[in-house]
Amino acid sequence: MRMASDFMTPNPKMIGSGESLLDVIRTFLEQGITSCPIVNPLGEILGVLTELSLVKAYMLHQARFKKEDRVGHHIDLLDPVTYVNPEAPIIEILTAMIMTPTHRLLVKNRHGKIVGIISPKDLMRATIGVENPAVSIKQRLKDAEALLSASLIEKKSLEQTLDIYQQVFHETPYMMHAANDKGVIIMANKREHEVLGYDDDELVGKSIFDLYTKSMHHLAAEGLKSVMEKGHHHITYTTLLTKKGEPIRCDISSSAILDSSGKFISTISVLRPIDQEAMLRILNGIVDTKGGPLSKYLVKPEN
């Protein structure tokens, strides 16, 4: 009977708790990682970081709800780890995989050492590559049926993840937009539309230069160039125009979104009005400082 040691990918990638969120994002994109165990300096596994949790952590940091930018400061966003031993049979593996939220299993030997990781793709590759004539057609059908079930669960999980991505993007209390290499806006969240007085999706297709005052156009061009070349643009101040032509003073921070080969896709920018009244209007109804869903992430001002 095939066991976990037959399917696992040995020596799984681990990410240290001291790595910055931006470095981890680059690792995920460059290596095609969808989830990864996080370990502290003592080698203890703190949990599993998924793509969704990484996005949440980065947005919370960019929006200033959390000052810390190290993975270890976002333990509350990690998923629990599920372990199997190298001798675990396929049925036990599938059962554990379906039950765990990440659909990834770490293989731990009797000495407590992590020797491998198993994903649904590992099981699929193992099933397709089976060449042992002793394995019956009936058993192959059972394995394929179990793998299909696991795949459907993973598909549903991915669909839910995409829904949450969109919700986080649109419901964040800060303005956010993405622009291509020409400066054309390819997406903007609800908050940015509301603050600037545009209807839903009206900003898509406009140039970033349509949003900034003429005096800020050269800085906007330099910022776009910096993001494309360096991958980020430090927090700076700028002035935007509402649809009615009214100026709004904001601070802005931008980063690059890259594909798996490191090619630039777009910018992703987070903007915050620095006018106190405008800020209160944005946060009204979203952050309850007396215990609302986002109140625990607020950074209290220093005296």
Residue 227: inside a domain:
yes
Residue 36: inside a domain:
yes
pLDDT of residue 120: 84
Cβ(128)–Cβ(158) under 8 Å? no
Cβ(294)–Cβ(65) under 8 Å? yes
pTM above 0.85, yes or no: no
Q: Encode 125-163 in three state secondary structure.
A: HHHHCCCCCCCCHHHHHHHHHHHHHHHHHHHHHHHHHHH
Residue 196 shares a structural domain with residue 164? no
Residue 130 shares a structural domain with residue 19? yes
Residue 25: inside a domain:
yes
Tokens (6 digits) for 230 = 């360096």
* Sign of the alpha-carbon dihedral angle for 105, 108, 113, 118: negative
> The domain that contains 46 carries what CATH number?
3.10.580.10
Residue keyed to tokens 């190290």: 70
Residue 138 shares a structural domain with residue 245? no
Residue 93 shares a structural domain with residue 213? no
Residue 11 shares a structural domain with residue 97? yes
> The domain that contains 278 carries what CATH number?
3.30.450.20
Residue 238 shares a structural domain with residue 153? no
> Looking at 143, 169, 195, which one is the last position of a domain?
169
Cβ(35)–Cβ(48) under 8 Å? yes
Contacts 24+ apart (CB under 8 A), 11-16: 11/115, 11/116, 12/36, 12/37, 12/106, 12/114, 12/116, 12/117, 14/38, 14/39, 14/45, 14/114, 15/39, 15/49, 15/71, 16/40, 16/41, 16/71
pLDDT of residue 131: 42
Cα–Cα distance, 221 to 227 (Å, whole number): 10
pLDDT digits (tens, 9 = 90+) for 168-221: 666 677 888 999 999 999 999 988 999 999 998 999 999 999 999 999 999 899
Tokens (6 digits) for 135 = 């394995």
Cβ(40)–Cβ(72) under 8 Å? yes
Residue 15 shares a structural domain with residue 162? yes
Residue 89 shares a structural domain with residue 47? yes
Tokens (6 digits) for 39 = 């370990």
pLDDT of residue 148: 67
Tally of structural domains, the chain:
2
> Looking at 169, 204, 238, which one is the last position of a domain?
169
Contacts 24+ apart (CB under 8 A), 216-219: none
Give the contacts of 13 (CB within 8 A, at least 6 positions apart). 31, 33, 36
pLDDT of residue 296: 46
pLDDT of residue 67: 66
Residue 159 shares a structural domain with residue 179? no
Q: How confident is the model over 1-29, as a mean pLDDT?
A: 87
Residue 191 shares a structural domain with residue 71? no
Confidence class for position 224, pLDDT limits 50, 70, 90: very high
pLDDT digits (tens, 9 = 90+) for 54-100: 888 888 877 766 667 788 888 888 989 899 999 998 888 888 888 88
Pick left, alpha or beta for residue 11 (phi over 0 → left; psi -120 to 50 → alpha; otherwise beta): left
> Looking at 151, 169, 187, which one is the last position of a domain?
169
Residue 283's domain spans which residues? 173-288
Residue 131 shares a structural domain with residue 184? no
Instruction: State the chain's mean pLDDT as an integer.
Output: 79
What's the gap between Cα 187 and its chain centre?
Answer: 17
pLDDT for 8 beyond 60? yes
Tokens (6 digits) for 74 = 């976002």
